[in-house]
């Protein structure tokens, strides 16, 4: 099997490439603007890397579409701060560029495995979010935060429609707060919450809790996510054909405030950080002051994972404390 992976140097892409080369005999054609996270893969005989922008690499992409079996368009902007600050940039990459890739999958009759998001459920009131039953509910237009959720939801619907009308072979997966090593640069001003907090602690800055950090998330360690993704790609007995899967860890539902406190406790085990205390480290800001007026948050999002359990025989194994320790260690070594 040959895979075309776009956004291969990203968080999910880099871990996926590592796992494939270590555990499978599949071949990878990979594209990204940078190669630092996959640098150790570059010399592998089953890994072909092209450094470039997928919107300006039409000849290379056409060749790869002709010769691949499965396409994974993983390139996207997935940081909430940018949904508010740069909504048009998010639209151009996450929607326009990826829609072009989906249409090429239809044209060349290639299977596509597309990263949806837990954000498609928006402000759904269900206790747990079900792929087949839960409503996708987002906020008013002046809350730019929802542009990402609506982009992903619309692409999900387009892919589903192509599956019915053009026999597109697809699988959709919805990550619920995947985290781990290589999530973001610790100096990235738009880093996601786990790496943002680690960076704050390392620089001895205050940890900012937006609206008090009472919102809850189900954090899923990257190794668990990649295990599910490998099963989706393998598609044994066609189990993932035209299916949608939540990939998350409902057992690890914690508030952002609890996450901050856990990271402080973990960091106290490292030389130089023994005297950290959460009370002195944490600062509370309103969402408007931190993100701007275009932000709106979700109280909680818990995935129903019975479909992944049934079809993929998948279950998350790594608890939050173990995963956070692995993540912190990777950034400090």
* Catalytic position from the list 18, 119, 144, 296: 119
- Look up 119 and say whether it is catalytic: yes
Please name the residue that has the structure tokens 């039953």: 133
Give the per-residue SS3 of the chain. CEEEEECCCCHHHHHHHHHHHHHCCCEEEEEECCCHHHHHHCCCCCEEEEECCHHHCHHHHHHHHHHCCEEEECCCCCCHHHHHHCHHHHHHHHHHHHHHHHHHHHHHCCEEEEECCHHHHECCCCCCECCCCCCCECCCCCCCCHHHHHHHHHHHHHHHHHHHHCCCCEEEEEECCEECCCCCCCCCCCCCHHHHHHHHHHCCCCEEEEHHHCCEEECEEHHHHHHHHHHHHHCHHHCCCCEEEEECCHHHEEEHHHHHHHHHHHHCCCCCCCCCCHHHHEEEECHHHHCCCCCCCCCCCCECCHHHHHHHCCCCCCCHHHHHHHHHHHHHC
Is the separation of the CB atoms in 159 and 172 below 8 Å?
Answer: yes
pLDDT at 204: 84
- Structural domains of the chain ordered from first start: 2-179+221-250+303-317 (3.40.50.720)
* Catalytic position from the list 145, 192, 196, 301: 301
Q: In a structure prediction context, what are the per-residue pLDDT tens digits for the chain, which is 333 residues long?
A: 999 999 999 999 999 999 999 999 999 999 999 999 999 999 999 999 999 999 999 999 999 999 999 999 999 999 998 999 999 999 999 999 999 999 999 999 999 999 999 999 999 999 999 999 999 999 999 999 999 999 999 999 999 999 999 999 999 999 999 999 999 999 998 899 999 999 998 888 888 899 899 999 999 999 999 999 999 999 999 999 999 999 999 999 999 999 999 999 999 988 888 888 777 678 888 888 888 889 998 899 999 999 999 999 999 999 999 999 999 999 997
pLDDT at 281: 75
pLDDT at 88: 97
CA–CA dist 184, 200 (Å, integer): 13
Is the separation of the CB atoms in 263 and 324 below 8 Å?
Answer: yes
pLDDT at 171: 98
pLDDT at 280: 67
Of 33, 27, 35, 31, the residue nearest 3 (C-alpha): 27
Angle, vertex CA 63, rays to CA 16 and CA 4, nearest 5: 10
Reported pTM: 0.96
- Look up 109 and say whether it is catalytic: no
Q: Which two tokens stand for residue 151?
A: 């982009």
């Amino acid at each position: 099997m040959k895979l075309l992976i776009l956004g291969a140097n990203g968080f999910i892409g880099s871990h996926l490439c590592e796992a494939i080369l270590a555990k499978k005999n599949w071949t990878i054609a990979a594209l990204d603007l940078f190669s630092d996270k996959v640098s150790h893969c570059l010399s592998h005989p089953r890994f072909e890397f092209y450094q470039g922008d997928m919107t300006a690499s039409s000849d290379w992409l056409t060749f790869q579409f002709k010769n691949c079996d499965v396409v994974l368009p993983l390139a996207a902007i997935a940081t909430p701060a940018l949904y508010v600050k740069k909504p048009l940039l998010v639209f151009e990459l996450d929607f326009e560029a990826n829609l072009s890739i989906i249409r090429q999958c239809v044209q060349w009759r290639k299977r596509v495995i597309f990263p949806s998001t837990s954000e498609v459920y928006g402000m759904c009131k269900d206790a747990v979010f079900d792929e087949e039953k839960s409503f996708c509910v987002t906020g008013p237009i002046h809350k730019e935060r929802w542009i990402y959720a609506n982009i992903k939801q619309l692409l999900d619907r387009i892919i589903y429609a192509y599956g019915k009308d053009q026999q597109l072979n697809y699988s959709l997966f919805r990550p619920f707060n995947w985290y781990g090593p290589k999530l973001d640069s610790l100096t990235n001003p738009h880093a996601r919450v786990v790496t943002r907090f680690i960076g704050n602690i390392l620089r001895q800055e205050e940890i900012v809790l937006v609206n008090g950090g009472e919102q809850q998330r189900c954090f899923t360690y990257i190794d668990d996510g990649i295990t599910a993704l490998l099963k989706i790609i393998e598609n044994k007995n066609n189990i993932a054909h035209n299916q949608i899967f939540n990939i998350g860890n409902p057992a690890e539902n914690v508030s952002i405030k609890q996450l901050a406190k856990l990271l402080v406790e973990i960091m106290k085990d490292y030389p130089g950080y023994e005297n950290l205390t959460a009370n002195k480290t944490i600062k509370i800001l309103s969402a408007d002051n931190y993100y701007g007026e275009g932000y709106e948050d979700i109280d909680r999002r818990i995935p129903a994972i019975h479909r992944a359990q049934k079809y993929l025989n998948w279950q998350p194994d790594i608890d939050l404390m173990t995963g956070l320790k692995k993540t912190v260690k990777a950034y400090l070594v």
